[in-house]
Amino acid sequence: MKNEKKVKSSCFVTQVDLSLADKLQNDLRGFAFEFAKPAYTIFSAKKKGISVTLYESGKLMVQGKEMGEFIEFYLEPEILKSFTFSHPTEYMDTSAHIGCDEAGKGDFFGPLCIAGVYGDKEVIKSLASLGIKDTKKLSDKKTLDFAKKIKDDCVHHIIKIGPEKYNDLYSKFKNLNSLLAWGHSAVVDQLVAKTGCKKVLIDKFASDALITRAVHAKNKEVELDLKTHAESDMLVAAAAILARATFLNSLKTLGNAIEIELPKGASQKTKGAAISIVRKFGRDSLDKVCKKHFQTYEQVLQSC
């Protein structure tokens, strides 16, 4: 499908296949748009904060201060089947590189998962066209669905550190950031060996010196870039999805094994589940499913 776009402040213009005109019109009716038919248009639809005009030529114009979510969550996935508005390629690093991120560090239950994804220009554009984005903006189901696609299409490496191994390593490192740096360096080392690519972007979680020291201890030739909120990079976003999906699957498996649902995060619900585990199976069972350095751990033991 042809798809060209121009963005000027609060105006988005693209070309669409006219065979989709009926679907677009029906969907907009469902969204409570009001319709008119100016000259040279198939229709013009408006509601508060947004207007959509489809011309006889196939040109589609979207305007208004509320157009962003409409384009990102409806127009791109349902009509355009591309994501050049929400992920404009002119702002993307499309050079071949490795992106790394982690999941599970803020969750009392479950593993710590670190993932890396390698991609070149074509892979990066393909990820953008899928709608890959920061996992914090995705449902668990969408994260798991995306992870399957990323695993099929991209060179990747994942390290999963289960609770028992995590607790052992933490007792040696004495610091979460040092443990994370070790894990990221291992992922980077594996992907550099697999791909020969030495350009790496990591979502920054600690000081530059700590992360750089760990990565360069394994390979001094790595060209390392560290950025906060690096999930805007397609490969870091893909790595975050793989890490999160691995965490989610592992959390479910651990819970199924003891027939107790293990909540994400470190909330009161989490504490309640931990108390249930101790009362039902004893302290040793809790050690096998949680990160013991969390304050939640001592709070639970004091409650039982």
- With residue 53 as reference, give the H or E element that holds it: strand 50-55
- Same structural domain, 153 and 40: no
Domain stops at, among 86, 109, 132: 86
CATH of the domain at 135: 3.30.420.10
Q: What is the distance between the alpha carbons of residues 132 and 213, in angstroms, rounded to a whole number?
A: 30
CB 210 within 8 A of CB 177: yes
Domain residues for the domain of 49 are 5-86
| Structure confidence by residue, pLDDT tens digits, 155-187 | 999 999 999 999 999 999 999 999 999 999 999
- pLDDT, residue 7, reads 40
- Give the distance from CA 240 to its chain's centroid: 5
Q: Are residues 57 and 177 in the same domain?
A: no
Give the model's confidence band at 229: pLDDT under 50 very low, under 70 low, under 90 confident, else very high: confident
Q: Tokens in use for 4?
A: 């060209």
CA–CA separation, 119 and 261 (whole Å):
36
Q: Are residues 115 and 171 both part of a single domain?
A: yes
Give dist(CA 275, CA 303) in Å, integer. Answer: 7
Q: Is the pLDDT of residue 302 over 60?
A: yes
Q: What percent of the chain has pLDDT over 70?
A: 94
Element (H, E) at 126: helix 121-130
Least confident piece of the model among 15-19, 85-89, 99-103: 85-89
Give the pLDDT mean for 125-132. Answer: 87
The pLDDT value recorded for residue 91 is: 55
3-state SS assignment for residue 83: coil
> What's the token pair of residue 277?
């585990």
Do both 35 and 76 map to the same domain? yes
Say if residue 21 is exposed, middle or buried (CB neighbours under 10 Å; 0-12, 13-18, 19+).
middle
CATH of the domain at 47: 3.30.310.10
Q: How many residues does the chain have?
A: 304
Is 267 part of a structural domain of the chain? no
Q: Are residues 245 and 104 in the same domain?
A: yes
Note the pLDDT of residue 137: 83
Predicted confidence band of residue 232 (pLDDT cuts 50, 70, 90): confident
**How large is the average pLDDT for residues 84-98?**
75
Residues 25 and 106 in one domain: no
Q: Which residue has the higher pLDDT, 291 or 86?
A: 291
Q: Who wins on pLDDT, 77 or 89?
A: 77
Q: How many domains does the chain have?
A: 2
Please tell me whether residues 80 and 106 are part of one structural domain: no
Task: Give the DSSP per-residue string, 191-231.
Answer: HHHHH---EEEEE--S-HHHHHHHHHHH-TT-EEEEETTGG
pLDDT higher than 90, residue 246: yes
Beta partners for 101?
A: 115
Q: Which of 269, 286, 268 is nearest to 277 (CA)?
A: 286
**Which pLDDT tens digit goes with each residue over 247-284?**
999 999 999 999 999 999 999 999 999 999 999 999 99
Contacts of 55 (CB under 8 A, 6+ apart): 40, 41, 42, 61
Mean pLDDT throughout 129-158? Answer: 93
From CA 127, how far away is CA 185, in angstroms rounded? 24
Q: What is the pLDDT of residues 15-59, one digit of tens each?
A: 999 999 999 999 999 999 999 999 999 999 999 999 999 999 999
pTM for the whole structure: 0.74
Q: What is the pLDDT of residue 87?
A: 65
